[in-house]
Structure 1
Amino acid sequence: MTTTFIKTVYKLVVLAVLSMLGFLFAPEAHAHEVEPTIGDLTVADGQAELTLRINLEAFIAGIDLDSISDTNDAENAAGYDALRAMSGEDIRQRTPALLDMWNDLPLLSVDGVPVQLESQSMRVPEDVDIELSRVSEWVLRGEVADAAQHVTLSWPEGAGAMVLRQQGVDAPFTGYLAGGETSPEISVAGGGAMSASEALVSYIPVGFDHILPQGLDHILFVLGLFLLSTRWGPLLWQVTAFTLAHTVTLALGAMGWVTIPGSIVEPLIAASIVYVAVENIFMRGLSTWRPLIVFGFGLLHGLGFASVLGEFGLPEGQFIPALIGFNVGVELGQLTVIAMAAALIWLSVRAANAAKIDGEEGAVRSYPVMFRAVSVTGSLLIAIIGAWWVVERVFL
């Protein structure tokens, strides 16, 4: 084994790390993210009505939404893309088979009796960019007994996440269902609102899911913070500043006290990614201004989190616990990203060291040396992706 061979192995390890980053965070993935279905449920006057905000193309194509975060990664991605290019009328013609399958489950049961749902209306937007997922609104309705007491919803396996929200009653139920899960019995009369502990625990996975795997832009920003230095001190200062800032604007945005259009927030979030990545290339330690800048960028990211949380809705009466749970999930997601990145570089060091020449003293590469190589090249890749997102979100 020669020194040239060892250098080649080292370069291949670094290339593998960067290729993985590029695969995970390619710009086009942002346009095909899997989003949870939102279901608004009303049971009154002898009828059950379920209004879904749903990516119909993904369901019709048979994509397993439990196992992927991006429709490009699905085995039948080509079928999804073909459906996505169809008109709303073409999509509507393909939904009866989907509804029949749901009724066979059954999707909805009242007092243990399956409810036969029928399609009442469907709105499939026609003016959505072909490169973006299309969220349709589908209203389903079925007859139930006037004396109905409890309703349950069984979300199909492979259907991804669903946020279920009861409507038209006091203390309504709000829950988060994964594919294959069944809701608890929901009182038709209301009063099924979550307790504080249930709300906190239920919204942790919602926050986590928004980072891993959904929040590609937030992941890149956190990686930018991580790639500045091998020392824990700089990372702790940055993560603390970022956490404090996005917690503030997440709360203000969720309460409706601060509202800034996504057309402004999203390009600025992309710009924040570019900034931290570029600074990583030219700086080798924590500057005095970096935590302050990270705090400012954290305010922007918090508004981004708030917009997502606004789509899900927060349970009435348990606003604070649900908000805390969501934020805990976000923090756990961020820490997971940092842990995965550190482990990936550590494994790369071990792989490089395993290739050293027999009898040669010392390790081929140390963690700091490998870290700096990944930091510079990885930050360059992150900066390029972030710059593209700025252009895409402003001009395209």
Structure 2
Amino acid sequence: MTNTLSRVLTKLTLLLALSSALLLTIPRAQAHELQPTIADISRDGETLNVVMRLNLEALLAGIDLDGLEDTDDAENVADYDSLRALSAQEIIDRAPALLDQWNALPLVRVDGAPVALKSSNLEIPGDVDIELARISTWTLQGDVAADARALTVTWPDGAGAIVVRQQGVDAPFTGYLDGGDTSPEIAFDGGGAQSGWQAFVEYIPVGFDHILPKGLDHILFVLGLFLLSTQLGPLLWQVSAFTLAHTVTLALGALGWVNVPGSIVEPLIAASIVYVAVENIFLSHLSRWRPFVIFGFGLLHGLGFASVLGDFGLPEGQFIPALIGFNIGVELGQLTVIAMAALLIWLALRAAWYAELDGEDVLVREHSVMFRAISIVGSLIIAIIGTWWVIERVFL
């Protein structure tokens, strides 16, 4: 039985190590991380203004941005990299081709009729490190009738997500569209603000998407919590402390009351991943201080979540429902990660219940020993990745 268990554990940990090592091939979503396009829409008399903050190079490259986390993961990443290496003026010269595509869609309809947009101004920052995504500001304008009633926005397939924000009216519309979506009618006179329920429902998938698939650092942290023990109690203590903490700083950060630079928050988040993983290696039970430490790390992760909302904001009139929806989406993402991990480990343990030895099936009952091996190997891989992220975020 001892030899059988040893052989099972060796195979099991080797398989886990090989599969976990694949995480090392996943690039850190930092250099070319994708953010949603932001479109601020307003009307000045008979002129429609659309001011967009966008990753112009990614759109010009024709990358399928729908569901993509980082341009490095795209099949035609070389096209993006070549565009990213161009000067601001060279990108400006190429922008009209993209605008032609949008007008052919069309991007904007007013009272059902397409509106031809023209480029009024395009600002491309020239001092951004080539290894970082460059966010440009593009002002588009179109002619509309003085008595125009409403407009709709259609975002192209493959263009990723866009946040449409109406400006300069009472109860402005704010909406989140994926590639291929069309907004509801947006009244020029305002009054199209989301209801509390609409804002709540719309921001749940936004929060979920920030965990799965885009939140690899948060995924590894949650996996670190899960790998401590097979008992439900320790997991509940840890998840409760983490949830409470990140909810607090998510709300404070989204309100603008707390603002910590990403250069500080991101390395500390990586350090939190390392801490949890290393403690898993040396401890097999919930220590007295671990929930308090996790609470502190949860405060940091909440600031990371808040920075996502800061990129595109929350609807002014429905701040609380949208914030709650986003937070619930985050929690659903975390629970999905835990559920997937639990299922995979359960299947692995069940497969190892019977180990073939000299042609005979021998029942292996030491489940806790096998889980401990999985925990150590998995935590070691997580610690290595987290350590690299600390180095990357501080020194590179």
Q: What residue in structure 2 maps to residue 233 of structure 1?
A: 233
The structural deviation recorded for 1:388 is 2.3
Pair 1:377–1:130, CA change in 2 (3 A): farther
Q: What residue in structure 1 maps to residue 289 of structure 2?
A: 289
Preserved contact between residue 14 and residue 348 of structure 1 (Cα < 8 Å): no
Q: What residue in structure 2 maps to residue 303 of structure 1?
A: 303
Q: What residue in structure 2 maps to residue 269 of structure 1?
A: 269
Preserved contact between residue 38 and residue 53 of structure 2 (Cα < 8 Å): yes
Q: What residue in structure 2 maps to residue 144 of structure 1?
A: 144
- Counterpart AA for 1:260: V
Per-residue deviation, residues 173-231 of structure 1 (Å, max 9, x unmatched): 01110110000001110010000100100111111111112222212211111111111
Unaligned segments of structure 1, at least 5 residues? none
Matched, 1:160 2:160: yes
Moved more, 339-348 or 94-103: 339-348
Matched, 1:131 2:134: no
Preserved contact between residue 155 and residue 180 of structure 2 (Cα < 8 Å): yes
Matched, 1:362 2:351: no
Per-residue deviation, residues 254-274 of structure 1 (Å, max 9, x unmatched): 112222222222222121111
| C-alpha distance in structure 2 between counterparts of 1:31 and 1:370, whole Å | 38
Preserved contact between residue 9 and residue 355 of structure 1 (Cα < 8 Å): no
Q: What residue in structure 1 maps to residue 70 of structure 2?
A: 70
| C-alpha distance in structure 1 between counterparts of 2:22 and 2:345, whole Å | 12
The structural deviation recorded for 1:115 is 0.7
Moved more, 201-210 or 257-266: 257-266
Classify the secondary structure of the residue corresponding to 2:163: strand
- Counterpart AA for 2:305: F
Classify the secondary structure of the residue corresponding to 2:276: helix
Unaligned segments of structure 2, at least 5 residues? none
Classify the secondary structure of the residue corresponding to 2:287: coil
Matching of residues 198-347 of structure 1 within 5 Å:
198-347=198-347
Per-residue deviation, residues 35-64 of structure 1 (Å, max 9, x unmatched): 211111112311111111111111111111
The structural deviation recorded for 1:359 is 2.3
Moved more, 274-283 or 68-77: 68-77
Preserved contact between residue 33 and residue 214 of structure 1 (Cα < 8 Å): no
Alignment partner of 1:17 out of 19, 41, 58: 19
Per-residue deviation, residues 283-305 of structure 1 (Å, max 9, x unmatched): 10101100011001111111111
- Counterpart AA for 2:286: L
The structural deviation recorded for 1:21 is 3.1
Q: What residue in structure 2 maps to residue 50 of structure 1?
A: 50
| C-alpha distance in structure 1 between counterparts of 2:343 and 2:127, whole Å | 43
| C-alpha distance in structure 2 between counterparts of 1:79 and 1:366, whole Å | 52
| C-alpha distance in structure 2 between counterparts of 1:342 and 1:224, whole Å | 12
Aligned length: 392
Q: What residue in structure 2 maps to residue 389 of structure 1?
A: 389
CA RMSD for the aligned pairs? 2.1
- Counterpart AA for 1:362: L
Preserved contact between residue 164 and residue 176 of structure 1 (Cα < 8 Å): yes
Identity of aligned residues (%): 66
Q: What residue in structure 2 maps to residue 105 of structure 1?
A: 105
Pair 1:300–1:67, CA change in 2 (3 A): closer
Classify the secondary structure of the residue corresponding to 1:164: strand
The structural deviation recorded for 1:366 is 6.1
The structural deviation recorded for 1:94 is 1.6
The structural deviation recorded for 1:320 is 0.6
Preserved contact between residue 54 and residue 135 of structure 1 (Cα < 8 Å): yes
The structural deviation recorded for 1:128 is 1.9
Pair 1:101–1:355, CA change in 2 (3 A): farther
The structural deviation recorded for 1:17 is 2.8
Per-residue deviation, residues 216-251 of structure 1 (Å, max 9, x unmatched): 221221111111111111111100000001111111
The structural deviation recorded for 1:355 is 6.5
Preserved contact between residue 13 and residue 348 of structure 1 (Cα < 8 Å): no
Per-residue deviation, residues 122-146 of structure 1 (Å, max 9, x unmatched): 1222222222222111111111111
The structural deviation recorded for 1:9 is 4.8
| C-alpha distance in structure 2 between counterparts of 1:133 and 1:388, whole Å | 21
| C-alpha distance in structure 2 between counterparts of 1:32 and 1:318, whole Å | 31
- Counterpart AA for 2:162: M
The structural deviation recorded for 1:340 is 1.9
Preserved contact between residue 13 and residue 351 of structure 1 (Cα < 8 Å): no
Pair 1:30–1:351, CA change in 2 (3 A): farther
Per-residue deviation, residues 84-103 of structure 1 (Å, max 9, x unmatched): 22221222222111111110
Pair 1:50–1:232, CA change in 2 (3 A): same
Classify the secondary structure of the residue corresponding to 2:246: helix
Preserved contact between residue 354 and residue 362 of structure 2 (Cα < 8 Å): no
| C-alpha distance in structure 2 between counterparts of 1:380 and 1:34, whole Å | 29
The structural deviation recorded for 1:114 is 0.4
The structural deviation recorded for 1:352 is 4.7
Pair 1:224–1:108, CA change in 2 (3 A): same
